[in-house]
Amino acid sequence: MMRLRWIVLWLVAPLGVIIFTTYYTRQLTRQLLNQQTFMLRFYAHMLDYAAHAPEPCLNNYLLEFLYPSDNQKFRAFLVPLVITDAGGTILRHNLNEVLNELSQPASFTLDQALLYLDIDTTEFPPISVQIAPGKIHKIYYGEPLILEQVQRLPLFSGLAVVGIAIMGISFLAAASKSRQQRLWLGLAKETAHQLGTPLSGLVGSVEVLKGSPETLPRLLPRMEIDIQRLQEVADRFSRIGMRPQLKSHRLFEVLEEVVRYMKHRLPSSITLELKLPAEPSPVLPLDATLLRWTIENLIRNSVDALPPEGGTIFVRALTRRKGVIVEIEDNGRGIPTARWEDIFRPGYSTKKHGWGMGLALARRVIEEYHGGEIFVRQSKPLQGTVFRIWLPRERPFIPLRRWLRPLRYRLNLLLSLLRKQ
């Protein structure tokens, strides 16, 4: 199931974008409005000065350009202007685009103009200009129409982000569902695979007993081992999905037990060696059963990667102040750099009949249950692979190292491609 915090993040992010863009847009529109109002007052003072100048200082061309015109298809000012005489009769305006949208006649009253533009004469008081002695014009102005369009941007951007968030959540939900399906399918196959060996041993022993009951003393120890193995497999799979049961264990003893168990089940052409530091075993919070299973899976992967003539597998431990490093190294065929992360995905396998669950479950055990990390530290074609497990002495609250892993993989992939150039 997709984690709740990612869903919450995808839902909260659009709200944050809308709030930020709304606030920022309001600040910009306020600045633009202040600038336009200042320019308009400068315009009014310029007309007043021109009207009282001792000689003409504005020719007719400039007057036609500066005065709002009914014939112009553009605005010299972003601010909507309506110039009237002292009696309120409209002399000039630049409201053509509004009137065209409203399909209104060319002639209209001042009250109609103020209604069309939604001009608040309290917030935007008209400016009086004395054009000539005893002749006063009033300039009515309002909020630039373009600001209304700018103020819609937060809504549009918010809707766009919401749409992207919905698509992202849908994609994550579909990916999570597909991942869960692969996980359960692989888990079922892995269960059958794990149970197959001890069950076949028990079935064979029962068949032998049917024909030769006197062989019971010889077969009984073998049957007990198979039954114990079945119980162990059942215990392992029953813990998948449960809350981790971490108890204090000596890590070196767990590693020695795994290596001792696997040595008796490997061909003579394969050498399995354990290298431990000459110091007391660190005591870590572990689920020993699942950790043993993880190490066994990594050793089996190393065995499958070795050439037919055999090879060597090393299991080593390195103690650190905040945790312990466990490495499993082989001299097999190696893993391409581009596949270092893919091999941990449920269902991904390079084997012809593989289930693709061993490493996926190993990552779940190490990272989800123990708060550690598992990754490919090094791998070269035909030279071998080194898997590294990091087990902390105390379970971290926020495993930052895990968040940085994708960046590290991409960097390694880039470096490998550059080396090939």
pTM to 2 decimals?
A: 0.52
Mean pLDDT of the residues in the chain: 76
| Mean pLDDT along residues 27-52 | 77
Residue 399 lies in a domain: yes
- 295 and 407 part of one domain: yes
- Looking at residue 370, which CATH number applies to its domain? 3.30.565.10
Residue scoring higher pLDDT (398 or 173): 173
| Mean pLDDT along residues 139-159 | 75
Comparing 155-159, 350-354, 357-361, the range with the smallest average pLDDT is: 350-354
Radius of gyration of the chain (CA): 40
Residue 290 lies in a domain: yes
Domain boundary among 150, 170, 198: 150
Question: Which residues form the domain of 26?
Answer: 4-150
pLDDT tens for 293-342 read 899 889 988 988 898 888 999 999 999 988 999 999 999 888 888 788 88
Structural domains counted in the chain: 3
Domain boundary among 234, 258, 279: 234
Domain boundary among 201, 234, 267: 234
**CA–CA separation, 298 vs 262, rounded Å?**
11
- 223 and 262 part of one domain: no
Cα 210 to its chain centre, rounded Å, is 60
- 142 and 190 part of one domain: no
In the structure, what pLDDT confidence band is assigned to residue 284 with cuts at 50, 70 and 90? Answer: very high
- 144 and 161 part of one domain: no
Share of the chain above pLDDT 90, in %: 12
- 186 and 143 part of one domain: no
The residue whose two tokens read 């919905």 is: 166
- 258 and 346 part of one domain: yes
**CA–CA separation, 258 vs 269, rounded Å?**
19
| Mean pLDDT along residues 402-412 | 58
- 202 and 100 part of one domain: no
**CA–CA separation, 175 vs 189, rounded Å?**
21
pLDDT tens for 72-102 read 555 555 677 788 888 888 887 777 766 665 5
Residue scoring higher pLDDT (3 or 134): 134
- 53 and 162 part of one domain: no
Degrees to nearest 5, angle at CA 173 with 169 and 179: 145
The residue whose two tokens read 């990594």 is: 298
Residue 357 lies in a domain: yes
